[in-house]
């Protein structure tokens, strides 16, 4: 965990081995540039007996997205409308929610200043689909992953769990 980074233990992102394999392939195809993609799935809200809530994100599918930027230090499309159209198309075809945007870094999993600006921008865009979006960063070299969410206008790290089975909640 990065120094001074908030950590939210009540938000857990479950990612399957099958999706990990697809992410690895996406990173190889994009190399030496940053890879990016959308993870679709479901979110489950859990109310425990103390009245506290936790949120579990279950990944179901991954879609590698070719960046229009093609950069070793930047990712995604530089066209907001294209991001909306693509995510809407995938969500409609699969009847799932966009739960994460993933991208790789050549080294490390710490969000860059550009990453932080993009996360804040989409969080504050007013579009509901981006409000509780998880941002996953993968180290291209060692495949380490970290997940982040924007909460209360602050970047917060969340817990990632790799599972051996597919989750279809």
Work out how many domains the chain is built from and give that number: 1
pTM comes to 0.86
Q: How far apart are CA 8 and CA 92, in angstroms?
A: 30
> Residue 138 corresponds to which tokens in the numbers above?
């993968």
117 is a domain residue: yes
Per-residue pLDDT, 1: 44
Q: What is the pLDDT of residues 58-102, one digit of tens each?
A: 999 999 987 656 544 455 555 567 677 877 877 788 888 889 999
Partners of 134 in beta bridges: 100
Query: Which of 167, 136, 122, 120 shows the shortest CA–CA distance to 26?
Result: 136
Residue with tokens 């550009």: 114
Residues spanned by the domain of 133: 6-163
Partners of 155 in beta bridges: 150
168 is a domain residue: no
1 is a domain residue: no
In 88-109, which positions are buried (b, 16+ CB within 10 angstroms) versus exposed (e)? eebeeeeebbbbbbbbbbeeeb
31 is a domain residue: yes
CATH number at residue 111: 3.40.140.10
Per-residue model confidence as pLDDT tens for the chain (169 residues):
444 678 899 999 999 999 999 999 999 998 888 888 999 999 999 987 777 889 999 999 999 987 656 544 455 555 567 677 877 877 788 888 889 999 999 899 999 888 888 888 888 887 777 778 999 999 999 999 999 998 888 899 999 999 876 544 4
Torsion angle defined by CA atoms of residues 104, 136, 64 and 29, in that order, rounded to the nearest 10 degrees: 20
> Residue 15 corresponds to which tokens in the numbers above?
């990612």
78 is a domain residue: yes
């Amino acid at each position: 965990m990065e120094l001074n980074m908030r950590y939210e233990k009540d938000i857990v992102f479950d990612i399957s081995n099958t999706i990990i394999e697809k992410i690895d392939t996406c990173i190889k195809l994009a190399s030496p540039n940053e890879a990016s993609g959308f993870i679709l799935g479901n979110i489950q809200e859990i109310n425990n007996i103390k009245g506290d809530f936790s949120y579990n994100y279950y990944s179901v599918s991954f879609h590698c997205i070719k960046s229009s930027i093609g950069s070793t230090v930047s990712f995604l499309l530089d066209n907001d409308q294209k991001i909306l159209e693509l995510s809407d198309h995938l969500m409609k075809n699969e009847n799932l929610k966009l739960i994460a945007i993933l991208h790789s870094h050549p080294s490390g999993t710490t969000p860059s200043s550009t990453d932080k600006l993009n996360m804040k921008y989409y969080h504050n865009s007013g579009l509901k689909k981006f409000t509780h979006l998880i941002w996953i960063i993968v180290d291209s070299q060692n495949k380490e992953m970290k997940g982040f969410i924007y909460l209360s206008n602050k970047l917060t790290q969340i817990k990632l769990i790799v599972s051996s089975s597919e989750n279809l909640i």
